[in-house]
Amino acid sequence: MEPPANPGVIKLKNRSGSTMPKQRIAIVGAGNMARARGKAFLDTGRAEICGVAARRAQRAENCAAELGCDVFCDDFRRLGEARPDAILIEVPHRVQDEVSIWSLAAGYDLLVGGCLASSVENGHQIAETAARNTRMVEAGFQRRYDPAWEEIQRLVAGGELGAPVMAVTTALWNPDPDGWYYDQEASGGMPLTHMSYCYLNAVRWILGRPTTVSAMANRMRNTAPGRVVEETCGALIGFENGAFASATASYVGPEGMTDPQPRFVCAEGGILPNADSPPGKDSITVFHGGRSEVRAFASEPSPFVRQAAAFLDAIESRREARSPPEDALLDVEIATAISVSAREHRTVSLAEVRS
């Protein structure tokens, strides 16, 4: 496999006068995120939506119409008739696994909306199928394409603030108690669905390679059978370089209570993403040498558009973007280790999860 393309270059538009055809993207799923990511592809100016599949044909039709497409169906396997170049998947994780394997076996490149898979076993199967069929796969963690978080990664990984010490994150959310996020089997669990997205994937991108996990969890609000086992969870993730991340996440989010912003502490400074930024900007505050400095970045194009553009670069160049299968498997392994640690009341090595 070739090394990843230069992550600092995101192409959004074809060169003036270019005759390069637009990439044809088919979508499996018709919810809000399918619409958001579909629109992100359109906003690159380099793609068109060629088909939408959803369990209910009416929802597929409505989503397709919003994205300028007149091809829709209630069976994702029929999307091959639309002659796509790649597939975008935005469905519950257990269903996503089946669609991913079909897409890769059929020869399509793949952008999945979140985690790579619902389990470590399925993640390995997807990674192996992608490698065997030489297909590009990108996991949908768009925070890696946010300019503010790119700067955090550059500062910490580059050592400008000294050795990384720790990251601290909190993410409280109130999903629909009857929706798939709360369904243990459909979602793969809260650590996989919520904690990886907010914010463990981005944190490990910044801190380095994780090695160990220790976690505690409870379930206090939605205790019905089949609901997520770890409704609220706190986890400590240790890294090879000695740094650690303290991550708390929950499906119990008191109304009106806002989350504190993630923060990164290094031996000679720290970084705090800012909740309040000027219009059209995202910003971080960098602490170093007894001073603080606010650094602002344009919020447009959005991280979703930037990731869509990077995925298009990947399928055109055949060079991986920032979340290929081998890397994305780590999020599934971490989530599994969190659940094992919380249930068995012990520290879990990620090497143990892989074996």
Domain boundaries defined on the chain = 23-142+307-324, 146-299+332-354
- For residue 152, give the nearest of 209, 207, 211 by alpha carbon: 207
pLDDT at site 279: 84
Q: What is the mean pLDDT of residues 29-56?
A: 98
How far apart (Å, rounded) are the C-alpha atoms in residues 183 and 198? 18
Whole-model pTM: value is: 0.92
Confidence class of residue 19 from pLDDT cuts 50, 70 and 90? Answer: low
Q: Residues 307, 311, 317, 323: what is their CA dihedral angle, to the nearest 10 degrees?
A: 80
pLDDT at site 276: 86
Question: How many CB atoms within 10 Å of residue 152?
Answer: 26
How far apart (Å, rounded) are the C-alpha atoms in residues 97 and 142? 20
Confidence class of residue 355 from pLDDT cuts 50, 70 and 90? Answer: confident
Angle between helices 93-105 and 120-132 (to 10 degrees): 20
Residue 17 has pLDDT above 50, yes or no: no
Q: What is the mean pLDDT of residues 247-259?
A: 96
Size of the chain in residues: 355
Residue 198 has pLDDT above 90, yes or no: yes
pLDDT at site 18: 52
pLDDT in tens, 93-121: 999 999 999 999 999 999 999 899 999 99
Question: How many CB atoms within 10 Å of residue 102?
Answer: 17
Confidence class of residue 280 from pLDDT cuts 50, 70 and 90? Answer: confident
Residue 10 has pLDDT above 90, yes or no: no
How far apart (Å, rounded) are the C-alpha atoms in residues 189 and 199? 15
The pairing of strands 281-288 and 232-239 is: unpaired
How far apart (Å, rounded) are the C-alpha atoms in residues 135 and 104? 7
| Edge-to-edge strands, sheet with 210-218 | 291-298, 281-288, 269-273, 263-266, 164-172, 244-250, 232-239, 210-218, 348-349
Chain mean position to CA 284: 21
Least confident of 38-47, 104-113, 251-260, 272-281: 272-281
Long-range contacts of 271-275 (CB under 8 A, 24+ apart): 271/152, 271/155, 271/156, 271/161, 273/148, 273/149, 273/152
- Give me the amino acid identity at 354: R
> 110: which strand partners?
87, 137
Enter the tokens of residue 71: 């091809």
- Tokens 């599994």 map to which residue? 336
Confidence class of residue 240 from pLDDT cuts 50, 70 and 90? Answer: very high
* CATH number listed for the domain at residues 146-299+332-354: 3.30.360.10
How far apart (Å, rounded) are the C-alpha atoms in residues 45 and 150? 23
Confidence class of residue 199 from pLDDT cuts 50, 70 and 90? Answer: very high
Q: What is the mean pLDDT of residues 66-70?
A: 98
Residue 339 has pLDDT above 70, yes or no: yes
* CATH number listed for the domain at residues 23-142+307-324: 3.40.50.720
Enter the tokens of residue 130: 């992608």
- For residue 3, give the nearest of 330, 322, 240 by alpha carbon: 322
How far apart (Å, rounded) are the C-alpha atoms in residues 203 and 165? 12
| Edge-to-edge strands, sheet with 86-89 | 72-73, 47-53, 23-28, 86-89, 109-112, 137-139
- Tokens 């670069």 map to which residue? 313
How far apart (Å, rounded) are the C-alpha atoms in residues 172 and 249? 6
Chain mean position to CA 59: 24
